[in-house]
Structure 1
């Protein structure tokens, strides 16, 4: 069996390492925040290092750091706002400083307890996979109702976002019934038909460790609950396997084991292709039970595993180069994500041909119908890159496909993503944001949903909320390489951080979409780097002349608020573009 690299022991930065890193951050010009924010960061880091992280609540910070008497954390958002500022400040610091920082300090969203990791961690030793992935006894199999209950609990934990999309669903159902009345009796496709199938095995653990037994079962259940939210795959839970669906029937098996050292737990994970037992992906995640409960740790690790394995452009959709007969839906999904990476006319033709053929043989496949809708939208928004004029009926076709898919499966995150974008590019922003909210409620770990929804929120003026989602997508490896980085550039640009904006813009894939160069030109112009900005405009004139003729309408079609558009126009004017005030206002 293959040798898989894991860490010999739980290796976290020492207190001295963290303190030294904290001082570097607080004294750096790149961490240019008010004194109160610096006191905030020093306080939460110090309290965590001294073992008092469980006291880090909004009330404690408000009274201790801000000096507020009778601080009401429910009605006063001061602590939440300051925490968001610190997160962005840390993001800027590490972006400017580069990858050489020895310790990475972050404050995960949803709390105020910082985490500390090595900037460039190296493994101490290799151990045989046999030792890491121990055999699992039948007694450890997870009951299926536990997984189902966790799915239900996770879904209904976001009722506000889901409710926001209900009116959209009713309108979509009515419209789709008029357009395609026969879909009224249609049920969603059996998701086992040609989809990538993953058999999740119960995590292994030392047989004499009852504490790890509970964590192993809980983590397995959470992994199943998070994986089933991704509509492109079929998940076989351990209990399903005992009922006759064997792991050998699945394309992949997901295997894991737990080991502990004091209050630290390490989960070793690997994804195995069943046809040849090749390990296509392996990694490890740590749980620190001194700063979070076992339930919180199980949920956090499971989300990371599901996101890495099943997200668009993730392990499942990049590990295979070819697919044999019987996996048609998987083949089309691979073709779609391959096209999105390449963004070429030939790759688009291949993906659309596969999706159209699949739709003819499986007309109830809502996910593939949604992917086809997204390709129609791409032919409009990426027309310059694809090298052909935008089809006049492209958006209408995209909307019809998305609405038909929603009629089949209205609780499918990919379908709602297609609805969101079709509404957005048809100038129905309110409906687009409703669809995005509902999609994100269904699967917050879907990086495409988080990233695209975040962009729509940001472009509609809700920059702070939208940029947090775009940042989440980037951190989780969402999108083709360099795709969401241009969103991060715009986020930094709109808040006035020109240095970070330029860095993010240059990290984006400038060849993916000519609009990425428009953003860079505006940033350089606003920064006073006129010769570099002029160079970008010259490139656009030479390689995307039709885009430059419609640049005003292109910006207006994306940014809703006049003040946001003007920031782009002002930067482009500084670069040498001729954009009159009348053009900008009309």
Structure 2
């Protein structure tokens, strides 16, 4: 950035800070000055919640953004103050703004698209450059507007908040939504904002119901790709907090349909493969990961690992790619895959990648999911469950996180907590990857319901994983169907030679409860009349 442009930006910063129309606290004025000066100095990559909290807000070195949301809250106030200022001073030569999802300011010349001062030193691109971009238009209010005059705005805000929790999307904030809606030339505003999808709709207050009709339009060709009506019973005079709860329920449903893995956005991205704009290129890597994660197909593992390694080398700030790569290295550790010279300890590499993903994107639930998996297989069960709780707090609308938590609890025989989570996850998302049904298999197997256990296994579409066949062999053996059990055990040995011999050690590594290990081992031992305990490999018959 030239010295002349830096002078123009500093002059604009001085005008904003000196103006009585800039309605911001002294703390937020320091906040703005700090982030602008850091960016102009070429240190934009250092602008994080931690640095702002400690250097601007006076927080101690033990500041934790997960526990203390001061930076996020004050950033929202600062954005609104800037937006309100520029509504009154629209003729400024250059405009300072702080995009939602970042604390790094952008500087926009009048009539020119917004741009960051300089790309970060590590070459990372902003999220909106490689993720689908969604604008939620303010929902229109129909019906009796005097009863709940703010309900449409409340639902709009809730939809934006619910979508924002899926951090692999770029969702414009409420202020941007309202300003774009008020703009005299919507088409020009859309081009400036670079919108891919636009959500719109109507909220109707009927006699005893709240009805929301939501539509989703693809901005490139104007085609409507999804529409749905949501109706909830509502009594007139209901407590306002209950109304907010109804809006949150509808918003969560909208978010799951639109943003869930293999939801509307993912399906559209798959359709656009080969013709989509540059910013979708990184998102395609995430779709490739989801295809792998659904079946855990071993043949897909190494090509995908190499692709994601290349992705993070090219885009060091691509947090989601770090998280997906972490989950691949966890699989390398738990399934014994060869990763060549890429690292000495796959699980430690997985943990490092997950930590980096969290550093890059502290609000990414996938990053915490990745950390939880690495922690589980490193034997850190309590830490894993805490990471999963953090992930679910960041995105309670993601059924996969619910299922992951349920599976881990089921593996420890915590049926009361784990089974309801698994059942609700699959009720919310019937097409969710079947691998978590292993938790329901364990539940039924432990209670002697072996046919029901087999039914759960049939939905586990991961036939290249030896442990699926081991589980089936145990259930079949318990049912006395020994020929079928032998076939499954033979397949498990083919996929992972020696897996039967190291059964107890292997299941302990997977953090199964000792009672579950004993029950599975006993069932499999019945396949060989000379073998009472599969832990003793010297007496095993090779199948």
Per the TM superposition, whether the score is higher than 0.5 is yes
Residues 201, 237 of structure 1: 8 Å contact kept: no
Aligned counterparts of 2:212 and 2:529: Cα–Cα separation in 1: 54
2:329–2:350 contact (8 Å) kept in structure 1: yes
User: Counterparts in 2 of 1:173-572, with a 5 A limit?
Assistant: 190-206=126-142, 209-211=145-147, 214-243=150-179, 246-247=189-190, 249-259=194-204, 262-289=207-234, 293-321=242-270, 322=273, 323-341=276-294, 343-344=296-297, 347-382=300-335, 393-477=345-429, 481-511=433-463, 513-572=465-524
- Secondary structure class of the residue paired with 2:311: helix
SS of corresponding position for 2:499:
helix
TM-aligned CA deviation for residue 544 of structure 1: 4.5
Distance (Å, rounded) in 2 between the aligned partners of 1:439 and 1:578: 47
What secondary structure does 2:347 align onto?
Answer: helix
After TM superposition, which residue ranges in structure 1, 4 or more long, deviate above 6 angstroms? 185-189, 386-391
Distance 1:443 1:264 in 2: 28
* Cα displacement string for residues 339-366 of structure 1 (whole angstroms, at most 9, x for unaligned residues): 3235445644453344333323332332
Q: Distance in 1 between matches of 2:173 and 2:485?
A: 54
- In the alignment, structure 1 segments of 5+ residues that lack a partner are 1-162, 167-184
State the TM-score, normalizing by the size of structure 2.
Answer: 0.65
Question: What secondary structure does 2:535 align onto?
Answer: helix
Distance 1:582 1:526, change over 3 A: closer
> Measured at CA, do residues 346 and 470 of structure 1 come closer, stay the same or move farther in structure 2, by a change above 3 Å?
same
Q: Secondary structure at the match of 1:312?
A: coil
> Offset at 1:261?
5.4
Whole-Å Cα distance in 1 between the matches of residues 233 and 330 of structure 2? 44
Residues 557/584 of structure 1: CA separation in 2 closer, same or farther (3 Å cut): farther
- TM-score between the two structures when normalised by the length of structure 1: 0.61
| TM-aligned CA deviation for residue 186 of structure 1 | 9.6
Q: Structure 2 regions of 5+ residues with no counterpart?
A: 1-63, 68-120, 181-187, 538-543
CA distance in 1, matches of 2:228, 2:482: 45
Contact kept? 1:367, 1:405, Cα under 8 Å: yes
Distance 2:309 2:333 in 1: 19
Q: 1:476 to 1:330 in 2, by over 3 A?
A: same
Aligned to 1:45: none
Question: Cα distance 1:548–1:271, how it changes in 2: closer, same or farther (>3 A)?
Answer: farther
CA RMSD of aligned residues (A): 3.8
Contact 1:364 1:408 survives alignment (8 Å): yes
Q: Bigger CA drift: 359-368 or 427-436?
A: 359-368
Tell me the number of residue pairs that the alignment of Structure 1 and Structure 2 aligns: 406
1:480 and 1:364 mapped to 2: Cα distance? 28
1:345–1:555 CA distance, 2 compared to 1 (3 A): closer
C-alpha spacing 1:326/1:496, structure 2 compared with 1 (3 Å):
same
